[in-house]
Amino acid sequence: MTERIDKKPTQADKTSQLTSDPMSVVQVGLDDGYAYTKVALADGRLFSAPSRARIGSAGVTWIREQEQRIFEYETGGTVYSVGAVDGEATQFDEYPSSALNRVIVQHAFQQAGLSGRSIHLVTGLPVSAYYRHDGQLRQQEIDRKCESLKLSVEPKPNSAKPGKSILSASVAFHEVIPEALAAWYDHVIVTQADGVTLDGDRLSAPIAIVDIGGRTTDFVVVQDQGIVHGSSGSLNRGMLNVKSRVADLIQQTFDMSELGEQSIARAVDSSRLRLHGKDHDISAMVAAAKRELVELLYAETRRKLGLGVELDQVLFVGGGSAALATDIANWFPNQTIPDHAAFANARGMLKYLQYVCDDTAGGF
């Protein structure tokens, strides 16, 4: 498994387990979150890359092709730089169907070794963007996202080697499901060495999924294979709020007007800020920002789920669940964080594509 591909994977990483037939369709589960874009492939590999891009060319000539860390893509007549750039904010409602999302997804495909491949894809939307309060589908939002990722995105060649073309990955089939519900599919569809089964006990048990992501935290309660909308929905708070709060505290403490988005992300991850060649301990700022987020999440979780006494299990997923595991450890006596929780949605989307969608044979 490969996680968090901030740097370019080797060619062996990319192609070792893909079929050699370039005409064959590749099945992909894609959790294109506001902070990270996660890819699950049918051969078991998992990839993650920051959802980081900006409008405009890279403005960098790479002396050695192997060191390239910023990649250019063109869609709708506009060039975007993706990778090691100070990214534009993704926290806006139209992001899932935006050009910014499209180039970030294409970059994730390229990093996963899917250049030139035809892709069958399942992605997600936050629960509140997928359902209205009464349970009706927000069909226009769903359709917009479906069509957006089918639009053309062309990778541009390295400026040092303008004649070397790169093939785009194209989406031939795309279905959208609610993000936290994807984790439920991951939970009930069990893959083992001797085959795939639906876990009957898990299928019938009342369960809550809490998906702590970048911009949103989603809640889905499933009972008797139905979604209980009164206890489901989205809170527009997630791990990007921690980054934003730390940025404010850094500006106040060090009297700075601005700091690059990548520098802030590194500071949050390491609890250290490097200024003028000197490291500063900002662990207290990071802890304070996390504490503020956790208090908001706790209050909303109690509003949605109460004490959870009628739930067999509360499943915490998403990158935020892993990052805040210590802070949320004792909210429910029957709570669980699965292995590689950040990939639970991407895995569930892939399983939904493989075993539930109409385009595949052998579904349940």
- Encode pLDDT of 75-120 as tens digits: 999 999 999 999 999 999 999 999 999 999 999 999 999 999 999 9
Residue 141 lies in a domain: yes
Task: With H, G, I as helix, E, B as strand and everything else as coil, classify residue 360.
Answer: coil
Residue 309 lies in a domain: no
Instruction: Give φ, ψ of 279 to 5 degrees.
Output: -85, 140
Tokens of 347: 């895995």
User: Contact 19/73 with Cβ under 8 angstroms?
Assistant: no
Residue 119 lies in a domain: yes
Give the number of domains in the chain. 1
Q: Count of residues for the chain?
A: 364
CA distance 311 to 331: 13
Average predicted confidence (pLDDT) for the chain:
90
Residue 147 lies in a domain: yes
Q: Is the pTM of this model over 0.85?
A: yes
Residue 256 lies in a domain: no
Measured on CA atoms in the order 350, 356, 362, 364, is the torsion positive or negative?
Answer: positive
Q: CATH number of the domain at 150, please.
A: 3.30.420.40
CA distance 122 to 30: 6
Count the Cβ atoms, other than its own, within 10 Å of residue 309: 9
Residue 50 lies in a domain: yes
Residue 257 lies in a domain: no
Summarize pLDDT for 116-152 with one digit per residue, the tens. 999 999 999 999 999 998 999 999 999 999 999 999 9
Query: CA distances (Å), 311 to each of 203, 207, 220, 275, in order?
Result: 13, 5, 12, 49
Residue 113 lies in a domain: yes
Q: Tell me how many degrees the CA angle 243-74-42 measures, rounded to the nearest 5.
A: 70
Summarize pLDDT for 24-50 with one digit per residue, the tens. 899 999 999 999 999 999 999 999 999
The stretches of the chain forming alpha helices (DSSP H) are: 11-15, 99-111, 127-130, 139-148, 179-188, 200-204, 239-254, 261-270, 283-305, 319-323, 344-355
What residues make up the domain containing 42? Answer: 26-178+343-356
Residue with token string 């988005």: 261
Summarize pLDDT for 247-274 with one digit per residue, the tens. 999 999 999 888 899 999 999 999 999 9
Q: For residue 349, give the amino acid letter.
A: M
pLDDT at position 7 over 50: no
